Amino acid sequence: MPNLMHFFIAKLILFFLFTYQITDCQANVNDINLADSLFAEKKYQEALLIYEGILDNEAYSPAMLLKMAFIAEGVGDFPKSTLYLSKYYSHNPNPKVIAKIKTLTNQATLVGYNVSDQQKFFKFLIDLNQEITATFALLLLLFLISIFVFPKKRTGFYAPAIVFLVLTFVSNNFLKDKETAIVTGAPSLIMDQPTAAGNLIRKVDAGHRVVIKSSKDIWYEIEWNEKTAYIKKENLSKI
């Protein structure tokens, strides 16, 4: 009876987790479909409001970002259009996107858009982070249930349970993308120290992408040409 009770509770937890995920995904799909229909009807401002809400919840699609960039460009908000395109580029590193950003920002060259094969693979894993973590967690739960359901064989389930516990922890805590941002201030000063008294590395215009390493008062510590540098927070918009 205790084994049956443990099994029932585990199945109940899985049911509620699965149902919650399906409901949440369905709500996002409904919002996207509504916004897409408004976009098709050329009700761009109404569509943009819904898209922005979806983006705030990190439930967007690359196609949605392109539509948001189109709307922002149409109303003359080039910084936002550039921001959406840069975010889109993170999922689809297409040279045409860079060309469009150069046009919007009047830049001949841009820093921070080179993506290696290793970065592409890591990005692929990051995009599947929830699915990977959920799979590891499910396998962990199954092995934990097996420990209680099959007490005579429980020693054989300890090792895989520990393995999937570690994998779940690593996937949930370390399989995350670096925090990136786009330069939106023009001109912006890249400094070697988080102070106006530091040495100027370069004066740049909007459009460049950087990796944020940390925050120091009114400054962000960033990666600039594989070196540590600093830029004022007001000149960056996080992607």
CATH number at residue 199: 2.30.30.40
What number is the average pLDDT over the span 93-103?
92
pLDDT above 80 for 123: no
Do 131 and 159 lie in one domain? The reply is yes
Co-location of 8 and 106 in the same domain: yes
Grade residue 28 by pLDDT with cuts at 50, 70 and 90. low
pTM: 0.70
Last residue of a domain, one of 110, 131, 164: 110
Query: CA-CA distance, 59 to 62, in Å (whole number)?
Result: 10
Q: What is the mean pLDDT of residues 119-142?
A: 86
Render the burial of 115-142: b for 16+ CB within 10 Å, e for the rest: eeeeeeeeeeeeeeeeebbbebbebbbb
* 5-14, 106-115, 159-168, 193-202: range with lowest mean pLDDT: 5-14
Residue numbers of the domain that contains 15: 2-110
- Sheet architecture: strand order including 188-191: 200-204, 188-191, 227-232, 219-224, 209-216, 180-183, 236-238
- Is the same domain home to 29 and 94? yes
Most confident of 115-124, 168-177, 190-199: 190-199
Give the C-alpha separation, 120 to 223, whole Å.
Answer: 19
Band (23; pLDDT cuts 50, 70, 90): very low
Distance from C-alpha of 212 to C-alpha of 34, rounded to nearest angstrom: 34
Question: How sure is the predictor about 26, in pLDDT bands with cuts at 50, 70 and 90?
Answer: low
Q: How many domains does the chain have?
A: 3
Same structural domain, 224 and 158: no
Shared-domain flag, residues 13 and 85: yes
